[in-house]
Amino acid sequence: MPRARPAIRRLNWLLDAAVAFFYPDWCQICRAEPSNAREGYVGRTCRSRPDGVRFVEPPWCGRCGLPYEGAIDHAFVCGNCARQVWHISHARAAVVATPLILDVIHRYKYHRAMWFEPFLADLLIQRAAPNLALESWHGLVPVPLHPSRQREREFNQAERLARRLSTATGIPLNTRLVQRVEPTRTQTMLSRNRRAENVRRAFALAGGRVPKGSRFVLVDDVLTTGATTNACALVLRRAGAAEICVWTVARGV
């Protein structure tokens, strides 16, 4: 295994060099300002746009993490969460799902714009890593794709982001606990209730051992209603996990 590491580093260097050749050090959003691979090719001006990077700040719902405006100085649970059965303790996100963030995620996921990954991962790490360091977690579990979807896309964005978060936090990455057993339709155009029904039986335990009392962090790119992560968390809870929280890059509002 140690012998493979120099080869992996060389491969990463070659990939960075290839990206730099085809995508010079310019923002790939506006193509008008400098930005490099370490920044994920998203420049400072684009980041600071009104529809750019907006970190999720309190106050927010204590369960789903939905941010609210106004001077709320006490813990609260939003109306949607009060009417829903949750299998997670709480969900948090780094940034609001603004048009720029959604565009970057869409290009990353569906058009293999891998050069955006450092940008997205850095947003997640900035907010998730300090928070996760406050408690003890047994593993990061990326929300799995169905094998047919993963073959089509060629990668699982949640797994790649979780791997970077694992490196930053030291929390082990576990990709073998949960599997997606149904090729569900995309959630984008579905209502809250239809989303929940769409993924109700989508996940199953993959055969890995879940120690009783263990605590896991589910990782995904975007949280909207929370239906997908909630269904995934139910599998872990039934297998013996004591607590599951969720961290995503972006939060739909």
Angle in degrees, CA 142, 119, 54, rounded to 5: 95
Q: Specify whether the CB–CB gap between 237 and 180 falls below 8 A.
A: no
What is the model's pLDDT at position 6?
A: 58
What is the model's pLDDT at position 3?
A: 44
Residue position matching structure tokens 């872990």? 236
Nearest to 62 by CA among 86, 92, 83: 92
Q: Does domain 49-251 have CATH number 3.10.20.740?
A: no
3-class secondary structure per residue, 60-85: ECCCCCCECCCCCCCCCCCHHHHCCC
234: left (phi over 0), alpha (psi -120 to 50) or beta: alpha
Locate 35 and state its tokens.
Answer: 């930005």
What is the model's pLDDT at position 20?
A: 58
What is the model's pLDDT at position 182?
A: 80
E strands within the chain?
Answer: 90-96, 139-142, 178-180, 203-205, 215-223, 243-251
CA distances (Å), origin 126, targets 11, 26, 61, 116 = 26, 23, 20, 16
Helix (H, G, I), strand (E, B) or coil at 220: strand
Q: Where are the domains of the chain?
A: 49-251
Supply the pTM of this predicted model. Answer: 0.86
Q: Specify whether the CB–CB gap between 64 and 229 falls below 8 A.
A: no
Spans of the chain, pLDDT less than 70: 1-24, 184-198, 208
What is the model's pLDDT at position 185?
A: 54
